[in-house]
């Protein structure tokens, strides 16, 4: 009788196996059987243990299903945040906005100047800025990879005061000599035509510190734990997407309006 009940439980979906075991060991009259004795409970547990030892793929499948369910739930929660806070997320105070300020689609990128994948995505963003006249791009400073990522973020925002944000932003992301440091950042800034003395002064401002802190806080709320990440429409996409995927998502938004 016990083995028959257990066999039926094992036919349940992978995600329900643990719940099925709990139901069996606590079943009462409503379940069509009297409450199990301790010996019977031990027998049931042993049967399940033997089954899982002989079929470890069931555990893997259950874990994969649980992880996928959690990811879907988190993605839905993030979409809700993006929808409810869209105005704030698309118009963060102090961050650089490129492209058409009145564009019909806003593309948001979270990036890090020391991140190889952020560097990889730079040509895609520059191409879109040049070839999509109705695109608005918001660049989120999210220094994660090194202390010099934070220094670089200070430098580019300070460069904005000299109308050279995008120039320095592109130059820093194009650097392929390993991790940045302050000397390299300032050398690149000098080559980009910036007033270095003024840049240093502006880099240390409380205003820029607050801008970066606000940018990082929004990234954290949205669960951005790595770069690059993108918001297109109401969805967050993690990792380098590639030009064609980004364009497809942008076009999808335009078509569905």
Question: pLDDT digit string (tens) for 42-62?
Answer: 888 888 777 777 777 777 777
Q: What percent of the chain has pLDDT over 70?
A: 87
What is the value of pTM for the model shown?
0.75
What per-residue confidence (pLDDT) applies to 37? Answer: 86
Q: How confident is the model at residue 28 (pLDDT cuts 50, 70, 90)?
A: very low
Question: pLDDT digit string (tens) for 151-166?
Answer: 999 999 999 999 999 9
Q: What is the mean pLDDT of residues 139-146?
A: 96
Question: pLDDT digit string (tens) for 90-138?
Answer: 999 999 999 999 999 999 999 999 999 999 999 999 999 999 999 999 9
As a whole number of angstroms, the distance between CA 170 and CA 187 comes to 14
Phi, psi of 119 (to 5 degrees): -60, -40
For residues 177 and 148, is the Cβ–Cβ distance under 8 A?
A: no
* Ranges of each domain in the chain: 2-79, 86-255
Architecture of the CATH domain 86-255: 3-Layer(aba) Sandwich (3.40)
């Amino acid at each position: 009788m016990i083995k028959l009940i257990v066999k039926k439980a094992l036919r349940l979906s992978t995600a329900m196996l643990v719940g099925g075991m709990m139901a069996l060991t606590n079943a009462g009259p409503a379940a069509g059987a009297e409450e199990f004795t301790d010996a019977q409970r031990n027998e049931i547990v042993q049967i399940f243990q033997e089954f899982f030892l002989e079929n470890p793929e069931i555990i893997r499948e259950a874990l994969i299903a649980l992880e996928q369910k959690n990811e879907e739930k988190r993605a839905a929660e993030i979409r809700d945040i993006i929808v409810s806070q869209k105005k704030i997320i698309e118009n963060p105070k102090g961050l650089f906005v490129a492209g058409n300020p009145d564009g019909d689609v806003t593309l948001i990128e979270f990036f890090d100047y020391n991140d190889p994948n952020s560097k990889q995505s730079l040509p895609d963003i520059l191409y879109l800025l040049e070839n999509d006249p109705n695109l608005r791009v918001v660049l989120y400073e999210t220094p994660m990879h090194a202390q010099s990522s934070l220094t670089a973020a200070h430098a580019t925002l300070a460069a904005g005061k000299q109308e050279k944000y995008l120039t320095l932003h592109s130059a820093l992301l194009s650097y392929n000599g390993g991790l940045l440091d302050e000397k390299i950042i300032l050398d690149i800034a000098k080559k980009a035509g910036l007033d270095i003395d003024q840049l240093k002064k502006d880099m240390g401002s409380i205003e820029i510190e607050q801008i970066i802190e606000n940018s990082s806080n929004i990234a954290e709320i949205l669960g951005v734990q790595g770069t690059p990440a993108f918001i297109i429409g109401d969805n967050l996409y993690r990792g380098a997407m590639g030009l064609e995927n980004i364009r497809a998502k942008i076009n999808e938004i335009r078509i569905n309006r």
